[in-house]
A and B are shown apart, each in its own frame.
Chain A
Amino acid sequence: MNSLYMPKDSLIHSLDPRTKMIFVIFVVISSFILNDPALQLLLLVALFPLVLLAKVVKPYLVSIQFLLLFAVLIMTVHGIYNPIGVTPVFEIFGGLTFKYESMVYASVMSFRILVIGTAAVLFVMTTHPSDMASALVKWKVPHSFAFILLSTFQIIPIIAREAKIVMEAQQARCLDVKGSIIQRVKNLVPMFAPLFIITFMKVHQLSYVLECRAFSRKGTKTSLRETRIGSLDYSFLIGMLAILAFEIYVKLFAMGSLHLTTDALLTYSLIGTWIVFGFMIVKFLYKQLQGKIGGAN
């Protein structure tokens, strides 16, 4: 498997990588322009149909889990302890109160993480790394720089595979990987030393292979995978421009908020993340339990 790319036949996949890159930049800018939890949430919800359209719902949910973890932490800890909060919204046990201002701050932060994460995951999952590289080249990015980016995407799974072999090889030399914390920290040396050496060897070899195929030749290079901007891309770009214009309008003339944020919205979104987090824990425990039962057979 190369990188996170999911080869599917969908509308999003057929977009030009340049459009999708602009889309990611657009989402990042939007999430910073909109400093209002309700609008951020709207943006996040608006991204879901795109995920659905790209037919990557399941892998998307898997990869977004970690970001959700951040969101839960930020919303809970900031909501209670951030000193900017003054207006109490609701109290949980032990006199810990969630305050309005800090909840707004925390929701904006965590929605921003989720929004940017969603856009990035959507981009990576629907764009073949080679397409991305050739799109960059069309933007006059030096060919070698585009290749560096491309090879980074491709070397990660290779390193992961090598890491597994190294770990097995060291375990075969009686290395106990399930020891105490100190032991585990010490184990990083036998793990990473061979891994670094092997990676350097591989990269070195790659450079020879590239030279053998005239990589450093001067002049223009053609690409095997041609990408073209079509009418679909233009409509997508116009859509983005319209939304951006609206956002700037809201920012300039409506103080950056449509006054949709209420106590209820904040509370529900907090509880919503807790519920999702709860599901994740239950699933994790279930898997652990299954492993234990499977191991006893």
Chain B
Amino acid sequence: MEPYISVKNVSHVYPGGVTAIKDINLDIHEGEIVAILGSNGSGKTTLVKHFNGLLKPTTGEVKIGDLNTRKERISKLSSHVGYVFQNPNHQTFLPSVRQELAYGCKNLKMSEEETDTRVQRAIELFQLHDRLDDNPFDLNSSQRKEVAMASIMAVSPKVIVLDEPTTGQDHKGCKRVLELVKMFKEEGHIVVLITHDMHLIGELNCRTVVMNQSEKIADDHASVVFSDKNIMAEAGLQPPQITHFANEISHFDPNRTYLTVESILEWMEANQEEDVKVGTRS
């Protein structure tokens, strides 16, 4: 199958001469959720900024569907790739949530009805019925973040990029992000996540790309990446606590990586008959 996002041998050098990403190859297909992991300054953000043309590759090529990002305008690419910035304050400026949602469609000069249907869809997806006339600045930070996401979704891009969606969110907010990501996938969107939240990736159990010092060092299923101690150490990452726990306890299947508490409970139920003696692996 043709990938929807295709990144071929892309390097990016910033005007100051700093190489932010080096020779990256990455294909993302329809229906995928891709998490991009790595320490600060490893090039995650630089990589995803190539998806909607905010940055153009210094060498190599990025294709979104049939569009070559080098030749297209950011405004056009943005109707295919929605990018939700980390801080919603950088984009919110209209006096009501409704206007905020319609803003992207207006920029694309869509008709009144088209805008209405798209905004209505975003309202349904995010359950924003009660907040439509509120001023975004009166909302709390997780609600504002949700409005920011909804305003990007209103354009209904094929791909949605979330830049650290759970940073600074309370537990409820994080759970909401998890729900939303799953819902985006069900609605047929490709989701690209930049995050440090290992718990979130564990719950999503999705494809994981690990960046370290401008290079891609791993690209596999979360369970495979999280069990590879070398890669985790190289990128300075810690797997979710429950994975760590399962790795240290001898009774769990050493060939499997447990990403969530539920998966451990499942295993325990399946092995109930046995007299489980729990000891640490030496």
Give the B-binding residues of A (Cβ under 8 A): 162, 165-166, 168-178, 189-190, 193-194, 197-198, 201, 295, 297
Contacts and interface: CB of A to CB of B under 8 A. Distances in A.
A173 B59 contact: no
Contacts of A173: 78, 91, 103-104, 107, 151-152, 155
Please classify how large the interface on chain B is, using the bins under 10, 10 to 19, 20 to 34, 35 or more. Answer: 20 to 34
Contact of B92 (A176, A189, A194): A194
A176 B85 contact: no
A194 B54 contact: no
Interface string B149-173: 0011001000000000000000000
Interface string B79-99: 100111101011111000000
Most buried by B among A168, A172, A194: A172
Given A169-B85, A295-B70, A174 B104 contact: yes
Given A171-B75, A172-B78, A174-B75, A295 B89 contact: no
A171 B74 contact: yes
Contacts of B56: 295
Contacts, number: 71
A127 B170 CA distance: 44
A194 B90 contact: yes
B137 interface: yes
B93 A193 contact: yes
Contacts of B83: 169, 172
A177 B107 CA distance: 11
Contacts of B183: none
Given A173-B91, A176-B107, A197-B89, A168 B54 contact: yes
A168 B75 CA distance: 10
B268 interface: no
Interface of B: 49, 52, 54, 56, 59, 70, 73-76, 78-79, 82-85, 87, 89-93, 103-104, 107-108, 137, 151-152, 155
Contact of B89 (A171, A175, A189, A201): A201
A178 B87 CA distance: 24
B85 A172 contact: yes
22 contacts: A162-B90, A165-B85, A166-B90, A166-B91, A168-B54, A169-B85, A171-B52, A171-B75, A173-B103, A173-B107, A174-B76, A174-B79, A174-B107, A176-B107, A177-B74, A189-B93, A190-B93, A193-B93, A194-B89, A194-B92, A197-B93, A297-B59
Contacts of A197: 89, 93, 137
Nearest to B55: A168
B137 A170 contact: no
User: Most chain-B Cβ atoms within 10 A of its Cβ — which of A170, A189, A190, A194?
Assistant: A170
